[in-house]
Amino acid sequence: MPISGVGDCAAPWTGGWRRHRRCPIGRLEEAVRRLGEATAGRPRRGLGHQDADGVAGTAATDDAIGFDPLPLLRALDEHGAVVAVIGQVAGIMHGSRELTGDLDLLWDGGRGQAPALAVAFAAAGASLADDQGRPLPCGPEAFSGPKVLFRSALACGDCCTPALPWGDLPVAAFLPRCQVAAAGGGLVIRYLDRADLIRMRRAAGRPKDLRRARELELLALCGLSQAMLSQAADSRRCRRVCVGQFRGDRESLQRHGMTTFTQLTLTSCDPPEPFTDRLRLAVAAYLARFKGSSREHTESDLRSYLSWCAKRGLDPLAARRPHLELYIRSMQEIRRFKPSTVSRRFSVAAGFYRTCVLDGVLEHSPAEHVRRPAVPAESPTLGFTHLQFEALLTAARESPNPCDFALVAMLGLLGLRIFEATAADIADLGEEHGHRVLRVCGKGTKVVLVPLPLAVGRAIDRATGSRARGPVLLNRRGTRMDRHAATRRLRQLAQAAGIQATRVHPHMLRHTFVTTMLDAGVDLRDVQIAARHADPRTTMRYDRARQNLDRHPNYILAAYMASGT
């Protein structure tokens, strides 16, 4: 199997215990030790890893007592079984501090691997069962299905193949990208790449999965910061050697009044090592101010700025105002971002420096006097017209997929954001003061109760059918619908309804929700409350572009000159 990265795990007696704990297998050994201390003396409650909830995970089950996956992983490696560790054990190997009580494995499902798997599990004394819990003989035929449950003396879990319903995830493509960790004694463990593990976590969508995905993303961001500082140190050493070579060119440019990036980065900086913890702490302190999806989006924008700094060998904590000006110009002139995107990304960088000043990391913010691009007051997105919305509702209602009508109704008649609609579970449905309501977790993890009109309630009932739990919206594979699948469904529905619109996306229905309410005579304040906007200007911004088109003077001129045209 091709591998994309190898992490050597030096034994404690050769490279030091501190280095051993930083390697993937060393992290796993330390997690096993911490789990043993946490579960020592804990009474058993009769809960297996299959009974774990979506919040605490398997660390709260009986399978966490005495859990140690290393003997089974060693048996798999010794007998030539090519498997990849997924789930939280892989997360621990990437640096996660959250403990677990089960081991999830992934293999390619090929017949050639089944005998090696059977011999390895038999050598570890493991028993096998199918997905329904029925015992299976420990032979190659046991691995003919997409999923096998296993239980050994120290570890239990699932052994899966890409044939298992994974939703829209290209799981087969994850295997060639697996990371590999090697330890003393010849032990080799393959584990899922961090980016692929994050995608798998986000697709699962449970609270524990989202929590662990955020932790992995923060670890990646901190790792990027450390690598960036190392690059900055190398760049400074290189500039000290080459400064004499560029001095003549620089003086020539200065005579013409030009400022180059080389000039800007030739600033005195402290040695990089003391900055490592400062930058990591500054990043963590800034991201800790946000919750939920706001933190995810802020983290993505901050990562873009840190990556920009890393490519230029610039320490973010040593940046000056001209560096921030160049960052804006690169987004405008090289990346060709829209003004709203440039403003949003720079606001994140400015907020990061503002937090650094509040925490005493910096004396002043280099982004304080940077000129920001002007963002037009009109929203560039236009919603559907009243007739287009009716046609879309009709096409969704007549669709053979019952989730189509529920999707359009939740976005267009309830005004939900796409992440709110796809995250809705059947358990979130209830009643309050005689109203049927849907519990929605919005921006900043704010929870609100949205009343369901009869039409929306019927659409949701039709989508859920006889299911008693799980997500309200499902994709074609029977798993939770994500925003990408929702976008594809909406575009197909718009095409079926004969709607001529470019780049149909879910947020257009939220625009339609606002504009249709205003057309129906609903007061602006009530529309603002229904849309859950903090500022009424945001609500008006949704409607201003449409009004500008409806009242455009071109129509008046054309009507005035109708006799000549």
Residue 560 falls inside a structural domain: no
Condensed to tens digits (0 to 9), the pLDDT of residues 355-399 reads 999 999 999 999 999 988 887 766 666 678 888 999 999 999 999
CA distance to 255, 396, 488, 540, per residue, from 505 (Å):
51, 15, 8, 20
d(CA 31, CA 24): 11
DSSP characters for 111-154? GGGHHHHHHHHHHTT-EEE-TTS-EE-SSGGGGSSSEEEEE-SS
Give the model's confidence band at 278: pLDDT under 50 very low, under 70 low, under 90 confident, else very high: confident
Residue 464 falls inside a structural domain: yes
CA distance to 17, 32, 34, 67, 84, per residue, from 37 (Å):
19, 9, 5, 11, 27
Instruction: Check whether residue 258 and residue 321 sit in a common domain.
Output: yes
The bridge status of strand 179-183 relative to strand 5-9 is parallel
Instruction: Check whether residue 154 and residue 286 sit in a common domain.
Output: no
Higher pLDDT, 116 or 2: 116
Instruction: Check whether residue 479 and residue 540 sit in a common domain.
Output: yes
pLDDT at 8 exceeding the cut of 70: no
Q: In what order do the strands lie in the sheet with 156-160?
A: 5-9, 179-183, 188-191, 84-86, 103-106, 156-160, 147-151, 127-129, 135-136
Residue 460 falls inside a structural domain: yes
pLDDT given for residue 501 in this prediction: 80
Residue with tokens 């049927």: 436
pLDDT at 172 exceeding the cut of 80: yes
d(CA 168, CA 476): 9
Condensed to tens digits (0 to 9), the pLDDT of residues 449-478 reads 999 999 999 999 999 999 999 999 999 888
Instruction: Check whether residue 63 and residue 193 sit in a common domain.
Output: yes
Instruction: Check whether residue 135 and residue 78 sit in a common domain.
Output: yes
- Listed in order, strand segments (DSSP E) in 164-207 are 179-183, 188-191
Q: Which of 15-19, 76-80, 128-132 has the lowest mean pLDDT?
A: 15-19
* Rounded average pLDDT over 130-156: 91
Residue closest to 318 by CA, chosen among 228, 398, 379 = 228
Higher pLDDT, 561 or 345: 345
Give the model's confidence band at 565: pLDDT under 50 very low, under 70 low, under 90 confident, else very high: low
pLDDT at 262 exceeding the cut of 80: no
Instruction: Check whether residue 303 and residue 398 sit in a common domain.
Output: no
Residues above pLDDT 70, as percent of the chain:
82
Instruction: Check whether residue 199 and residue 238 sit in a common domain.
Output: no
Residue 309 falls inside a structural domain: yes
Residue closest to 158 by CA, chosen among 202, 190, 126 = 126
To the nearest whole number, what is the mean pLDDT of the chain? 82
- Listed in order, strand segments (DSSP E) in 20-146 are 84-86, 103-106, 127-129, 135-136
Residue that finishes a domain, picked among 320, 341, 358: 358
Residue 378 falls inside a structural domain: no
Kindly report the CATH number assigned to the domain that includes residue 473: 1.10.443.10
Instruction: Check whether residue 142 and residue 169 sit in a common domain.
Output: yes
Helix, strand, coil fractions of the chain, as percent rounded to 5 = 55, 10, 35
Tokens of 101: 């009580």
Domain count, the chain: 3
Instruction: Check whether residue 25 and residue 59 sit in a common domain.
Output: yes
* Rounded average pLDDT over 436-459: 89
Give the model's confidence band at 443: pLDDT under 50 very low, under 70 low, under 90 confident, else very high: confident
Q: Which of 42-51, 134-143, 345-354 has the lowest mean pLDDT?
A: 42-51
pLDDT at 250 exceeding the cut of 60: no
* Rounded average pLDDT over 441-447: 80
Condensed to tens digits (0 to 9), the pLDDT of residues 27-85 reads 999 999 999 998 888 898 888 777 777 777 888 888 889 999 999 999 999 989 999 99
Instruction: Check whether residue 87 and residue 197 sit in a common domain.
Output: yes
pLDDT given for residue 225 in this prediction: 47
Rg of the Cα atoms in the chain: 28
pLDDT given for residue 357 in this prediction: 94
Q: Residue 111's domain spans which residues?
A: 5-204
Residue 289 falls inside a structural domain: yes
CA 47 to chain centre: 30
Residue 369 falls inside a structural domain: no
Residue with tokens 């619109």: 501
Instruction: Check whether residue 194 and residue 217 sit in a common domain.
Output: no
Q: Does an H or E element contain 438, and which?
A: strand 435-441
Residue that finishes a domain, picked among 204, 221, 247: 204
pLDDT given for residue 255 in this prediction: 43
Answering whether pTM is above 0.75, one says no
Instruction: Check whether residue 192 and residue 214 sit in a common domain.
Output: no
Contacts of 309 (CB under 8 A, 6+ apart): 228, 232, 315, 316, 319, 323
Residue that finishes a domain, picked among 177, 204, 231: 204
Residues above pLDDT 90, as percent of the chain:
46
Residue 374 falls inside a structural domain: no
